[in-house]
């Protein structure tokens, strides 16, 4: 067992999750990998055991299935060796809002928002009691940009951002570090699975570059990491504008523009 402890990574069989597994293994962390595709996880685990010597434990699970989600929650609650949770599992749906039926929408919310929240909820009390631990959640710049047209997907990713910022407020003083990573288009299988051609997009980041940038933000202890954003001051200005608006939101009376003319 590594003296650094373990990292539990969801959606770990391919894409962003698999690269996170590689990078944390090379940093000397043992791994707990969670995904539906057991065969691909096993192939990844064999390679990482050989190349890095870390322990790799596999948990095949569908996080939209209550039994699978409960299994991972229990592991997070009970395994004191796990010091980092990477909430990476996620999906996009075909088409726009009018193309997506209620079941499609519910499944998307279940994986991208409910599972993320439940896994954080399972591990946060243990981290807070220990005064240490990290929760990384993969959001998206789509959560900042309704103009991109991925309405439900973007709403779930906006939820991930708010959840992370809220957890930072509640848990930061207790020694728990939380990070939201907001990728732009990244070359992963999510595009093919949602019926989109990744090669038709104007700008696509390679997954290795995305994860390495996200880990640079992790090392810097950023609460929000946007690997594709060239000017950090743009995010700083957005946050400053939001903070400046906050006192004006807390009013006893409606704003004058909403009152009847006298």
132, 175 contact by CB (below 8 A): yes
Q: What's phi and psi for 179, nearest 5 deg?
A: -140, 130
Q: Give the chain's end-to-end CA distance (angstroms, integer).
A: 74
Full DSSP string of 194-241: TT--GGGSS--B-HHHHHHHHHHHHHTT-SEE-TT-S-HHHHHHHHHH
Catalytically annotated residue among 20, 29, 153, 177:
153
How far, in Å, CA of 214 to CA of 112, rounded? 19
Locate the DSSP E strands across the chain.
Answer: 6-10, 30-35, 56-60, 82-87, 134-138, 177-181, 224-225
153 is catalytic: yes
DSSP assignment of 128-155 equals: HHHT--EEEEE--GGGG-GGG--HHHHH
> Which residues are known to be catalytic?
153
């Amino acid at each position: 067992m590594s003296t650094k402890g373990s990292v539990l990574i969801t959606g770990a069989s391919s894409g962003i999750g698999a690269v996170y597994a590689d990078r944390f293994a090379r940093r000397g962390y043992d791994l707990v990998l969670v995904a539906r595709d057991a065969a691909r996880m096993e192939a990844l685990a064999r390679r990482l055991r050989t190349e890095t010597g870390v322990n790799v434990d596999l948990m095949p699970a569908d996080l939209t299935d209550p039994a699978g989600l409960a299994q991972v929650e229990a592991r997070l609650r009970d395994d004191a060796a796990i010091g980092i949770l990477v909430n990476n599992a996620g999906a996009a749906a075909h088409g726009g809002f009018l193309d997506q039926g209620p079941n499609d929408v519910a499944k998307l919310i279940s994986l991208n928002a409910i599972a993320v929240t439940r896994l954080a909820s399972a591990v946060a009390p243990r981290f807070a009691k220990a005064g240490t631990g990290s929760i990384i959640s993969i959001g998206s710049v789509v959560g900042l940009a309704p103009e991109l047209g991925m309405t439900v997907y973007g709403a779930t990713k906006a939820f991930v951002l708010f959840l992370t910022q809220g957890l930072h407020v509640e848990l930061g003083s207790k020694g728990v570090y939380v990070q939201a990573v907001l990728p732009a288009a990244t070359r992963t299988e999510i595009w093919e699975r949602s019926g989109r051609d990744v090669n038709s997009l104007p700008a696509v980041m390679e997954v290795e570059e995305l994860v390495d940038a996200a880990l640079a933000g992790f090392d810097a202890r950023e609460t929000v990491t946007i690997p594709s954003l060239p000017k950090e001051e743009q995010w700083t200005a957005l946050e400053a504008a939001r903070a400046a608006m906050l006192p004006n939101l807390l009013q006893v009376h409606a704003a004058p523009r909403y009152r009847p003319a006298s």
